[in-house]
Amino acid sequence: MPRPISASVSVSALRHNLAVVRRLLDQDAERAGAQPASIWAVIKANAYGHGIERAVAGFSAAQGLAMLDLDEAVRCREAGWGGPILLLEGFFQPADLDLVDRYHLTSTVHTHEQLDMLATARLSRRVDVMVKLNSGMNRLGFAPHDYAQAHARAVQLHAKGVLGSVGRMTHFACADGPEGVAGQLEVFGRATGGLANGPVSVCNSAATLRYPEIARGDAGTQHWVRPGICLYGASPFDDVSAASYGLRPAMSLRSEIIGVQNVPAGQAIGYGATYRTEQAMRVGVVACGYADGYPRHAGTGTPITVAGVPTRLLGRVSMDMLMVDLGPAPSAGVGAPVALWGEGGPSVDDVARAAGTIGYELLCAVAARVPQATRP
Ligand SMILES: *Cc1c(COP(=O)(O)O)cnc(C)c1O
């Protein structure tokens, strides 16, 4: 028998979450009499830990898929995805362009080196590109003063038959926080406003949920949003839950109680003796530790659900186990089900907050040794 831990992914939750985003964009566009945005469902990092093939199934109604790894792009095609695929970091070396060509991938272009590689490539068809602006995050993209020249180079390559559509794109650093997107959006407008009418893409999950109005298209411009985390039912925000948007957790991490200790008052629990019982307690031992991807920095008080009852973690998380307070669940013993996050348990965001991180990191970090199952 394997250990009782497993992660299950609900394809219907993925589908539901995509529909939530779709509805939000459609309602906004309808109010404004605009063209609704198209959706590139972001499935980088093995679909945020959920599995590429499950994501291809769950996001079959998306207009496109976006990711980083050429391998993942190939897996999407092999899983039957025929629509657009955007490479968020583009390609890295000339040989990558063979795959871009063969699998008909759309590429972000964010360096002159990439334009050089395109200029000398031998391709069987035109490559669609999104020319990326660094509008203030200072991660990928052409600087504002360089953007018009880079875009003009791409338009020249279009004229030579190398490139297909030439779009404009940027990424927000603070769409989830008080700073918002206005400053970067202004830089984007100034740097790209006068340029030809290719597609435009600026919004991640936070911007899509918070500012759907900036993703409106019109007769001349197709807008694409790039939501990731919200499609998996987790929140891009510190202070607004995914549930408040009607999103459903796609991944549920579950295990079982594999031992029970009746601990007298004044005893310590776990490595480092960081928690001491104030009174006699029943303590459950759960088959889940940091080697499974559960965050070691989650301390006493982190929410966890045992036999359907919300309770709390006690002491330090070990490599393979963690301990919980069975006080609220007096009838739970060995074999009782434990929901670490997801359906029937705390949200991954609540666990992440208790560990000083974000749901994104926990979802991506579920270890390979945890068996994954697909729910319909
Ligand atoms: C990861 C990523 C996204 C999606 O971000 P979320 O916060 O998960 O919605 C969008 N665009 C780019 C360029 C990304 O790297």
Residue-wise pLDDT for 269-308, tens only, equals 999 999 999 999 999 999 999 999 999 999 999 999 999 9
Residue 158 alpha carbon to ligand 1 centre in Å: 27
CA distance 29 to 27: 5
Q: Which residues, in sequence order, are bridge partners of residue 259?
A: 285
Return the percentage of the chain with pLDDT > 90, whole number.
97
Q: Which ligand 1 atom is the nearest neighbour of the CA of 230?
A: 9
Share of the chain above pLDDT 70, in %: 100
Contact present, 201 and 130 (Cβ < 8 Å): yes
Closest atom of ligand 1 to CA, residue 227 = 9
CB 147 within 8 A of CB 112: no
**Angle at which helices 144-159 and 112-120 cross, to 10°:** 10
Which residue of 21, 40, 42 sits with most ligand 1 atoms within 8 Å of its CB, as the best mutation to test the pocket?
A: 42
Taking alpha carbons only, the member of 49, 69, 67, 43 closest to residue 9 is 49
Residues annotated within the binding site for substrate are 139, 319
d(CA 226, ligand 1 centre) in Å: 6
The predicted structure's pLDDT at residue 219 = 77
Mean pLDDT of 259-275: 98
Q: What is the mean pLDDT of residues 149-171?
A: 97
Query: Which tokens sit at 80?
Result: 């039957």
pLDDT in the model for residue 193: 87
Question: Of 312, 334, 252, 321, which Cα lies nearest the Cα of 292?
Answer: 321
Give 312's contacts (C-beta < 8 A, 6+ positions apart).
300, 301, 302, 303, 304, 324, 325
Kindly give the distance from the C-alpha atom of residue 39 to the centroid of ligand 1, in angstroms, as a whole number.
Answer: 12
- Residue 233 CB less than 6 A away from ligand 1: no
- pLDDT of residue 123 exceeding 80: yes
Q: What is the mean pLDDT of the chain?
A: 97
**Count of helix runs (H) and strand runs (E) in the chain:** 11, 18
Compute the average pLDDT of residues 72-85: 97
- Choose which residue among 17, 108, 138, 204 to substitute to test ligand 1 binding: the one with the highest number of ligand atoms within 8 A of its C-beta: 204
- pLDDT at position 127 is 98
Cα 152 to averaged position of ligand 1 atoms, centre (Å): 26
- Identical fold for domains 11-233 and 251-374, yes or no, is no
* Rounded Cα distance, 217 and 39, in Å: 12
Which pLDDT belongs to residue 197? 78
Q: Whose CA is nearest to atom 4 of ligand 1?
A: 228
Nearest CA to 72 out of 115, 42, 109, 110 is that of 42
Are 79 and 60 spatial neighbours (Cβ–Cβ below 8 Å)? no
**DSSP bridge partners of 254:** 6, 339
pTM confidence score: 0.97
Vertex 89: Cα angle to 85 and 92 (nearest 5): 105
**Residues taking part in catalysis:** 44, 271
- Please, which pLDDT band fits residue 376 given cuts at 50, 70 and 90? confident
Question: pLDDT class for 196, splitting at 50, 70, 90?
Answer: confident
The predicted pLDDT at position 248 comes to 98
Distance CA 349, CA 44 (A): 19
CA of 204, closest atom in ligand 1 = 9
**Residue 266: burial class (beta carbons within 10 Å; 0-12, 13-18, 19+):** exposed
Closest residue by CA, ligand 1 atom 6: 228
228 lines ligand 1 (CB under 6 A): yes
Q: Nearest to residue 53, comparing CAs of 27, 28, 29, 74?
A: 74
Residue nearest to atom 3 of ligand 1 (CA): 204
Distance 50 CA to ligand 1 centre (A): 16
| Cα gap 84→130, rounded to integer Å | 12
- The phi-psi region of residue 104 (left if phi > 0; otherwise alpha if psi is between -120 and 50; otherwise beta) is left
Q: Is the pLDDT of residue 51 over 80?
A: yes
pLDDT band per the 50, 70, 90 thresholds, residue 218: confident
| CB 14, CB 199: distance < 8 Å | no
For residues 365 and 2, the answer to whether their CB atoms sit within 8 Å is: no
CATH number of 251-374: 2.40.37.10
- The residue-averaged pLDDT of 58-71 equals 97
Residue extents of the structural domains in the chain: 11-233, 251-374
Residue closest to 285 by CA, chosen among 306, 267, 264:
306
Can you say which residues are annotated as belonging to the binding site? 139, 319
CATH, domain range 11-233? 3.20.20.10
Question: How many angstroms separate the CA atoms of 354 and 136, rounded?
Answer: 30
